[in-house]
Structure 1
Amino acid sequence: MQCAGCSGKTYPGTLRVKAMGFSCYTKKGQISCNGSPCQSQKTGQKAADYTRRTISKSIQRTQRNQRRSCGCRARAIIVKKKDELNLKGPLIGHFKLKVKKAVVTIINNAISQGLTQKQSCEIFGIIPRKFRRWLDPKPVRTRTAWNKILEHERNAIEDSAWEPELIGKPVSHIFVHGHDSGKFFASFSTVYRTLKAKNMVEPKKHWHRKTPYISAHSLLDEGFSLLCYDGSQFRTDSGIILWAIPVMILPQRYLLHIGHSLNGVSSGDLTQSVKEAYALIPEHLTTKVIAHSDRGSAMKASSTKRVIKELLGAPVHYGRPHTPDDQAWIEAFIKTLKYHRDAPQSFKLVDDILQWLKRIPDIYNNDPHSSLSYVTPLQALSGQKEVILNQRKQNLAEARMLRYTAWKANHSIMLPAASEVVTHSN
């Protein structure tokens, strides 16, 4: 039975719908069998592609921002870690194994946070090839020296150390015993290392000072005066040696006396020179005087220390060990004594040396001294140093004001008058 208004004729579109199903169209803009418009397959595919492309771009942008923030964070961490290792600039040269491991760890952490190996190495300042070499170092091949001591020689050294006549003796005795007896032939350092490896060498005991060392500068800062002395030799043309023993007081740098002796400086010669110099010290300086010298044999003699302590009422202050030119005030004067502009080039007789030793105190004490701000030692000893320096300072200030006044007068003459400036402007 057919519907009203519908003929029994079969249309091609109806057959196509039955065969292909609903919502399946082959042409753009084709409508469905019920008359409602529908998109074509190609238009729907474009819409799906657009949606997919929009989502993928936003995800890519988010991932890019995340990588960028991670990269900035990794860069900051690399710079901070490099500063903690006290590494500056590019890594050039050799480094300790501990530093190499730390660098490898830092760069690996940066790579795990998104940076490439090349970027991490550029930020840290290391060549990528060097980083890869530190990351995977070559195994160290153990090498044996061709002249390494043999086992029977090592046993001979140990057996010799246990011999009754060598027990408790220095290592040098064992070394000599091996060469004399022919049991072993090794160097002293080899014998020492062999015995030390077996804990057969007694460790050397180092003496430590119980009280801290007080320098001579500290004594001067506390208001003490130092009596310095030393010996230096002069030689005549015929080869006779005469020793000069100068004695100086600090901080005035005043040369008190120069003693002398033939063929050497004994304790008696030294104490005699100190006594003669002490008699020339002004009375106001004798209350706080301390003797200062190096650690020469005559200076450290018990008789010298006893006499000077009785004379000054204080023990002798010595310089630091093994530093004879430490705080070398007296050594600087000895150089002046030998190479002064008025010093003779040579001495024919001993009497010529004695004549020069008598002349030099007056010359030296009246010469301006650089360490005294170019005041003579005699002026410093008499207490005129501060007065002279203040007067010089005042003279310089007055001269400066005179120069400024002269400059100001010349400058005002060179400038045009105010009336001339107004006339030219009109």
Structure 2
Amino acid sequence: MDGAFVGLDGLLPVRAICALTGRSPATHYRSLAPRVHGPKPRRPAPVNKLTDEEVVQVLDRLNSEEFADKAPAQVGAILLDQGTYLCSESSMYRILRGHGQVRERRRQATHPAKKKPELVAAQPNDVWSWDITKLPSPIRGVYYDLMVIIDLFSRYVVHWHITTRESGLGSKEFIADAVMIHGTPGVIHADRGTSMTSKPVADLMIDLGIDRSHSRPRVSNDNPYSEAAFKTTKYHHTYPGRFGSRQDAIAWANGFFLYYNFEHRHSGIGLHTPASVFDGTYMAIHARRATVLQNAYTATPHRFSRTPLPPAGPSAAWINQPQQSEVAAHA
């Protein structure tokens, strides 16, 4: 193979010879410079390298009182104005870097991690969660804002409102209306949207003695109950996808949330309706279900492999489950 290359060298291009001999050009070029075993040879020092004495002189000048707080570009310019040239700007940086003197000297902003919300709701009105979602209008790019507050423990939609434009003042009135109807919750959780973190809403929370809780930035599962409720809303078979007007959206939402609160059997609360858990009547319903199953088992025991029981009722609901001891304390 090497003999063929030698015979054709100078007559044809290397790629043509490789094509004729079936040899890769990379293999050919690699064979011209065989691999050297062991450490790579040390790079020879450039002829214009500064001597050790010159490096010390440059470093002393850079660390002098006159230039200690100046960048190498400034130092080089000042020295030139003074009629002195020590070395290039890149050489100054290289010398400083070699002596560990290149770093950011300005005070840098620090952004500590946001605290992870850890909330537990053991009964209605312990924790509310609220969020805003978009409802498409007839005009492309224009949306109505659906604001929804749900109770974490019962999944009950405490309050909802549709507006054409969200704002801090509007959000304050929205929360105040919910509190007026259902009482004051212990905590209200939301993401970090402009309305949720607005001053009017913050002032209202302080005045009412409600603890504020917010999701971490860009962490969607810090507000899972509101997100899940919006998915249930928009995946419902009656959801039109687009609304002709704000009045159409209100009419649809009114019917949907009546269904959701009073008819929808929620899998997260033992297949009870949110309204029955919110008002406490679910316990009687659970007992009736158990009686019906027991009667069925007594009448036809051969149809069951074990004693049937209704789905377990709701237990403590949480966002980012805290320590088990804390969950038990709320239970």
CA contact (8 A) 1:253 1:377 kept: yes
Q: CA deviation at 1:232?
A: 1.2
Contact 1:347 1:353 in 2 (8 A): yes
Q: 1:195 & 1:265 partners in 2: Cα distance?
A: 56
Q: Determine the C-alpha separation between the residues in 2 that align with 1:322 and 1:197.
A: 37
Q: Which residue matches 2:250?
A: 354
> 2:236 corresponds to which residue?
340
Question: Which has the higher Rg, Structure 1 or Structure 2?
Answer: 1
> Quick check: 2:124–2:278 contact (8 Å CA) kept in 1?
no
Write out aligned runs for 1:110-125 (5 A): none
Q: Once the 2 structures are TM-superposed, how far is the Cα of residue 289 of structure 1 from its aligned partner?
A: 2.7
User: Kindly tell me: are residues 196 and 346 of structure 1, through their superposed partners in 2, closer, same or farther at Cα, counting changes over 3 Å?
Assistant: farther
What number of residue pairs does the alignment pair up?
230
2: CA distance between counterparts of 1:260 and 1:355? 10
Q: Alpha carbons of 1:214 and 1:256: their partners in 2 closer, same or farther (altered >3 Å)?
A: closer
- Match status 1:162 vs 2:70: yes
Contact conserved, 1:195 with 1:201, CA < 8 A, in 2?
no
Which of 274, 279, 282 in structure 2 is aligned with 1:377?
Answer: 274
Gaps of 5+ in 2: 1-36, 44-48, 51-57, 76-88, 305-331
Supply the AA of the counterpart residue of 1:200.
R
Contact persistence 2:128–2:149 (CA under 8 A): yes
Counterpart residue identity of residue 266, structure 2: H
SS in 2 for 1:359: helix
Of 152, 156, 181 in structure 2, the residue corresponding to residue 280 of structure 1 is: 181
Contact 1:256 1:361 survives alignment (8 Å): no
CA separation in 1, counterparts of 2:242 and 2:99?
56
More helix by share: 1
Which of residues 303, 307, 331 is equivalent to 2:200? Answer: 303
1:74-115 superposed Cα distances (whole Å, 9 cap, x missing partner):
xxxxxxxxxxxxxxxxxxxxxxxxxxxxxxxxxxxxxxxxxx
Give the distance between the partners of 1:266 and 1:196, measured in 2 at CA. Answer: 55
For residues 74 and 251 of structure 2, what CA distance do their matches in structure 1 show?
60
Higher mean displacement: 393-402 or 342-351: 393-402
Following the alignment from structure 2 to structure 1, what is the Cα–Cα distance between the partners of residues 41 and 218?
A: 43
Deviation at 1:351, TM superposition (A): 2.5
Q: Which of 201, 222, 226 in structure 1 is aligned with 2:104?
A: 201
Q: CA deviation at 1:370?
A: 0.8
Residue identity opposite 2:191 in structure 1: D
Q: Structure 1's 236 and 393: CA in aligned 2 closer, same or farther, altered over 3 A?
A: same
Is contact 1:295-1:324 (8 Å) kept?
no
Give the structure 2 partner of residue 266 of structure 1.
Answer: 167
What TM-score comes out, normalization by structure 1 length? 0.45
Q: CA deviation at 1:270?
A: 0.8
Distance in 1 between residues matched to 2:236 and 2:42, nearest whole Å:
62
Tell me the secondary structure at the aligned position of residue 274 of structure 1.
helix
Once the two structures are superposed, the pairs formed by residues 181-220 of structure 1 within 5 Å of their partners are 198-202=101-105, 206=110, 215-217=118-120, 220=121
Against the structure 1 CA distance between its residues 162 and 373, is the aligned structure 2 distance closer, same or farther, given a 3 Å change threshold?
A: same
- Counterpart amino acid of residue 137 in structure 2: T
Partner residue of 2:265 out of 368, 391, 395: 368
Matching residue's letter, 2:167 = S
Task: State the partner residue of 1:48.
Answer: none
Q: Indicate conservation of the 8 Å contact 1:291/1:317, yes or no.
A: yes
The residue type equivalent to 1:301 in the other structure is S
Q: Residues 243 and 261 of structure 1 are in contact (CA less than 8 Å); yes or no, is this contact kept in structure 2?
A: yes
Which residue is equivalent to 1:241? 143
CA distance in 2, matches of 1:310, 1:393: 45
Tell me the distance in 2 between the aligned counterparts of 1:162 and 1:248. Answer: 59
2:127 paired residue number? 226
Give the residue type in structure 2 aligned to 1:360: F
1:151-192 CA-to-partner distances (Å, cap 9, x unmatched) read: 9xxx9xx99x9339999xxxxxxxxxxxxxxx88xxxxxx9x
Identical aligned residues as a percent: 19
Normalising by structure 2, report the TM-score: 0.57
Q: Does 1:399 align with 2:296?
A: yes
* Separation in structure 2 between the aligned mates of residue 363 and residue 377 of structure 1, nearest angstrom: 10
**1:229 touches 1:248 (CA, 8 Å); kept in 2?**
yes
Alignment of 1:28-177 (within 5 A): 141=40, 162-163=70-71
Deviation, 1:306, is 0.7
The alpha-carbon deviation at position 368 of structure 1 amounts to: 0.6
CA shift at 1:199, angstroms? 4.1
Relative contact order higher in (CA < 8 Å, ≥ 6 apart):
2
Is residue 135–residue 146 contact of structure 2 (8 Å, CA) maintained in 1? Answer: yes
Could you say if the C-alpha distance between residues 294 and 401 of structure 1 is closer, same or farther in structure 2, counting changes exceeding 3 Å?
A: same
For 2:322, the equivalent position in structure 1 comes to none
Calculate the aligned-residue CA RMSD, in Å: 4.1
Q: Which digits, 9 at most, give the CA deviation of each residue in 1:286-334, with x for residues without a partner?
A: 36532111122221122211112223x1231222343143131111112
Contact residue 234 and residue 241 of structure 1 kept, 8 A: yes
Match of 1:319 in 2: 215
Unaligned segments of structure 1, at least 5 residues: 1-137, 145-149, 168-182, 185-190, 408-426
Q: Do the aligned residues in 1 keep the contact of 2:127 with 2:188 (CA within 8 Å)? A: yes
**Residue type matched to 1:364 in 2?**
Y
Distance 1:394 1:234 in 2: 43
- Cα shift at 1:268: 0.8
Letter in 2 for 1:267: G
